[in-house]
Amino acid sequence: MTPQDSYRLFEQLAIAIPKPTTELVYSSHFELLIAVVLSAQATDKSVNKATKLLFEVANTPQKILALGEDALKGYIKTIGLFNTKAANIIKLCRQLLEKHDGNVPHLRSELESLPGVGRKTANVILNTAFGQPTIAVDTHIFRVANRIGLASANTVLGVEKALMGIIPEKFMLDAHHLLILHGRYICVARKPLCHTCVISGYCEFFQLTAH
């Protein structure tokens, strides 16, 4: 894909999705961090359902530690891998208090040192909470980027690097959520909705299947 096509592609996505943002519900950087940790291999909808009740009683590192691991599991038991996630969240909260005065750090190295936080989670926090131009490659972005021709890579890091190299600077901050939302609702895994897609004219998959 040429830089010109990439620019026009993101220009059309930005028009179609005027307010690209996460669908996770949160009211602080800490709540966002917990929600993103919980969202691994889970839907935003299931996370929001659990955190709505959890955050009413515990929405700070201190309160979650006071709640305890067993009680925390009760709130997140509907989410996949909840045992591991509960253990990581307890350790994460303890580390935030011990090393960061209870605040969510804004450096990648410090974020990735937190239990349960990998590169993808760190990228989400850097982008959504701190306004940094990062790309967190989830299953939607991985699929969409390879399908439409923005990337040609078989690893998450490969797709991230390819996207960072081709996304126009103007759209870099919003690209993460533009691609996720496009993948979630239009460029779905099975039977993508090409007939309603605003970027089909720039899509390699559509060009191949339309002829």
Residues designated as active site: 120, 138
Helices (H) and strands (E) in the chain, counts: 12, 0
186 CB contacts (<8 Å, ≥6 apart)? Answer: 192, 193, 196, 197
> Residues 137-176, buried b or exposed e (16+ Cβ, 10 A)?
bbebbbbbbbbbbbbebeebebbbebbeebbeeebbbbbb
Rg (C-alpha) for the chain, rounded Å, is 18
Best CA proximity match to 184, nearest among 43, 62, 61, 71? 43
CA distance 62 to 101: 11
DSSP 79: S
- Strand ranges (E), 115-194: none
Give whole-number Cα distances, 63 to 34, 43, 189, in Å. 13, 25, 39
CA distance 202 to 14: 15
